[in-house]
Amino acid sequence: MWAGADPLSQASRHAAVMADTELTERQRAAAVLIARGHTNRDVARELRVSLRTVEGERSQLMRKLGLRRRSELVRWVLQRGLLY
């Protein structure tokens, strides 16, 4: 670790890498749609699930990835090349 490195950030990044492999297909699809700027309601319509299901899936995937904001999720999707 270099000087000034934030160990919490490194732990968060490690958790996100590990969780990446544990995301369900629907969580990945929701993450991509959210990164494209879709609202939860839009995502629900696209995936043909309820709004509450999308809210729960998004919450669970954010927790798995150690993210707190939608903008962090967008960055995560972009860094993995999932936005096409």
pLDDT number for residue 72: 95
**Tokens describing residue 74:** 């967008």
Check pLDDT > 60 for residue 4. no
What is the tens place of the pLDDT at every residue in 20-38? 667 889 999 999 999 999 9
Question: What's the rounded mean pLDDT across residues 38-47?
Answer: 97
**Fold for the domain defined by 22-79:** Arc Repressor Mutant, subunit A (1.10.10)
Containing 52, the helix (H) or strand (E) segment is: helix 51-65
Q: Give the CA angle between residues 3, 5, 69 to the nearest 5°.
A: 160
Check pLDDT > 90 for residue 8. no
Q: How far is CA 71 from the centre of its chain?
A: 9
CB 70 within 8 A of CB 19: no
pLDDT number for residue 1: 46
pLDDT number for residue 84: 73
Distance CA 82, CA 33 (A): 10
Domain ranges of the chain: 22-79
Bin 5: left if φ > 0, else alpha if -120 < ψ < 50, else beta.
Answer: beta
